[in-house]
Structure 1
Amino acid sequence: MKYLPATVYVLLALVWGSNFIFVKWAAESITPAQITLLRVLFGFVPVLIFALARRALSWSHLRHLHHFVVMALLATAVYYYAFAAGTALLPSGVAGMLGGAIPLFTFLCAWIFLKEETIGARQVVGILLGLGGIILIAAPWSSDGQIAPLGVAWMIGGALSVGSSFVYARRFVTPLRLPAAALTTYQIGLGLLFLLLFTDRSGIEALLGDRRASVGLVLGLGLCGTGFAYIAYYYLIDRLGAVTASSVTYLPPIVALFIGVVLAGEDITPATGAAVVLIFAGVACLQRFKLPGAAVVALAAVRRRAPR
């Protein structure tokens, strides 16, 4: 048990980093909306079981339903859909690297919407470096068509969505001091409801024709990449603290790039490699502003410190 936190830390980085290749495989058979629906469906199951086991759910929480709805949209439905749509159009390694820019957009959202967040020279440099890396990946001046601008736009939209969810949670949800397991269950459950209502499910059975894609989506993207990931993150926060746990979010882009290049045979140009350096340098410059890289980490950390 001595090395269990470190083992979970590494597993979580591997699970999150592999999400992009699973999306890429599934996109060959079904639409991004259907990918998102199945991901949330199979991710919701372990999260619900976990919350029930912790006895974290309560009917009294329904008075905060409007906040849960906002989080379900920003941090689940829109976020996952945008990343699925972007990954379907991009090499999985490139999509993973763009996902690594989430802290950049989180800071921008916080600076715009939270009065207490100020911006200094270091943060300006970080923003410019990160944006420079994204532009280098998109390469709007290039005519070879290797990187789809629409795919980059979807990834940026997803990063903005989840980034704004951190700000919303910090301002309106964290003060409620509700159990993190409950907040995640409500968020993913309501996100699932929205996806069930608005997703065209015709042709979704085509996924069953591709064993690799179906196993990857259900097991890798849903049960592990969504359900296990949240539970593992709670464990790391409890054992290592929120700041250390949040550092795991910087590893998945590296894992995604490795999988894309080494295992999937994707071509990564020197310019893309330079973009990775710029994005990570930009994120490093923003470390004074610490928001964890999953939608409820801050909430879980507050809950740990809350009086019993």
Structure 2
Amino acid sequence: MRTKDWLAFIALGTIWGSSFLWIKIAVQEIGPFTLVALRLLFGVLGLLVVFLFARPELPRTWRMLLILTLIGFTNNALPYVLISWGELYIDSAVAAILNSTTPLFAMIFAHLYLRDDRMTTSRLIGLLVGFVGIVILVSRGLGSNVRFNLAGQLAVLIASVSYAGTAVFARKTTQGISPVALALVPLIGADIFMWMITPIVESPLSLPSLPITWLAVIWLGLLGTCIAFLLYYYLLHSVGPTRTALVTYVFPLVSVVLGVIFLNELLDWQLVVGGALVVGSIVFVNTRS
């Protein structure tokens, strides 16, 4: 990769990896639905600025608008809420590692729905190793508050499944759509949905009052959503999907380091071994494919 590709790659891994820290900080004051609604709002505002400069062609059919709206729900609103809610009960490092299982779930969906992306022996081995890692990580929640710990981990895993299913669905249905439009239109639909349900789910609506919470929200919206999407699509076109997917290995490491340093999260053998198995399984699958 060229120098600017490496810089984009490192920036994307750092931004996405740090997002779990900022989510953990934000949900200490505001609810997960409010956080997601605000995060999407700042993400939309940032992408609107990009849209005004790039002037990409927008989808012109109701069918495509419906598809992009669905993608906004399954790739933004739903997983963002699940991860934010999950981090009420689990460490940010655990959330990041569990979320990094997305490529493993994507293999299953791709095998079922894409003719050119079938399951292989190496992928099956990677899937099984990754599953063992998940079991070890989940076992961390078998101590105190077992019900909420397991629920939080399950929420993040469901978010990963949602990301994976959406990736396969989008690959089949959004060919030829501008990357900026593909990022912006789903976000608009997702944010409208979030502002419709947030006042109902989290009533009375409580906005952030602490500067650190606003910093977290703005970081998640402008960097974790807007800039991250732009870097992701840049790498996708510059170095291809396989190399871009390697960023999955970066953000668990970033999140673990930040969680231990700034949030005093526990670094125990289950986190180290389980995390190593999950990340190692993804590395194995990609290097063997």
Shift of 1:276: 0.8
1:50 and 1:231 in contact (8 A); partners too: no
1:131 and 1:279 in contact (8 A); partners too: yes
Structure 2 SS opposite 1:199: helix
TM-aligned CA distance change 1:144 to 1:88, over 3 Å: closer
Shift of 1:282: 1.7
Per the alignment, residue 239 of structure 2 pairs with 240
Per the alignment, residue 300 of structure 1 pairs with none
Shift of 1:37: 0.7
Q: For structure 2, which runs of at least 5 residues remain unmatched after alignment? A: none
1:38 and 1:217 in contact (8 A); partners too: yes
2:59 and 2:177 in contact (8 A); partners too: no
Per the alignment, residue 60 of structure 1 pairs with 60
Shift of 1:182: 0.8
Per the alignment, residue 150 of structure 1 pairs with 151
CA distance in 2, matches of 1:31, 1:80: 12
Structure 2 SS opposite 1:148: helix
CA distance in 1, matches of 2:204, 2:28: 12
**Superposed counterparts of 1:7-156, under 5 Å:** 7-58=7-58, 60-139=60-139, 142-145=142-145, 148-156=149-157
Per the alignment, residue 174 of structure 2 pairs with 173
Shift of 1:165: 0.2
Shift of 1:47: 1.3
Per the alignment, residue 192 of structure 1 pairs with 191
Structure 1 SS opposite 2:142: coil
CA distance in 2, matches of 1:25, 1:96: 14
2:249 and 2:283 in contact (8 A); partners too: no
CA distance in 1, matches of 2:262, 2:16: 16
2:17 and 2:250 in contact (8 A); partners too: yes
Shift of 1:145: 4.2
2:107 and 2:119 in contact (8 A); partners too: no
CA distance in 2, matches of 1:262, 1:181: 35
1:34 and 1:199 in contact (8 A); partners too: yes
Residue by residue over 1:27-65, the C-alpha shift from the partner in whole angstroms, topping out at 9 and shown as x without a partner, is: 111111111111111111111221232111436254412
Q: For structure 1, which runs of at least 5 residues remain unmatched after alignment? A: 291-308
**Superposed counterparts of 1:286-301, under 5 Å:** 286-287=285-286
1:111 and 1:117 in contact (8 A); partners too: yes
Residue by residue over 1:134-156, the C-alpha shift from the partner in whole angstroms, topping out at 9 and shown as x without a partner, is: 11111189334478000110001
Shift of 1:85: 1.2
Shift of 1:257: 0.5
TM-aligned CA distance change 1:140 to 1:113, over 3 Å: farther
Shift of 1:275: 0.3
Q: What TM-score, normalized by structure 1, do the two folds share?
A: 0.85
Percentage identity across aligned positions?
23
Structure 2 SS opposite 1:230: helix
2:110 and 2:118 in contact (8 A); partners too: no
CA distance in 2, matches of 1:260, 1:245: 24
- Tell me whether 236-245 or 192-201 shows the greater mean CA deviation: 236-245
The code of the aligned residue for 1:151 comes to G
Residue by residue over 1:95-147, the C-alpha shift from the partner in whole angstroms, topping out at 9 and shown as x without a partner, is: 11111111111112222333444323222211111111111111189334478
Per the alignment, residue 159 of structure 1 pairs with 160
TM-aligned CA distance change 1:44 to 1:64, over 3 Å: same
CA distance in 1, matches of 2:6, 2:92: 26
The code of the aligned residue for 2:21 comes to I
1:51 and 1:57 in contact (8 A); partners too: no
TM-aligned CA distance change 1:215 to 1:204, over 3 Å: farther
The code of the aligned residue for 1:185 comes to L
Residue by residue over 1:74-108, the C-alpha shift from the partner in whole angstroms, topping out at 9 and shown as x without a partner, is: 11111111111112211111111111111111112
CA distance in 2, matches of 1:120, 1:53: 43
Residues matched between the structures, number:
285
TM-aligned CA distance change 1:115 to 1:194, over 3 Å: same
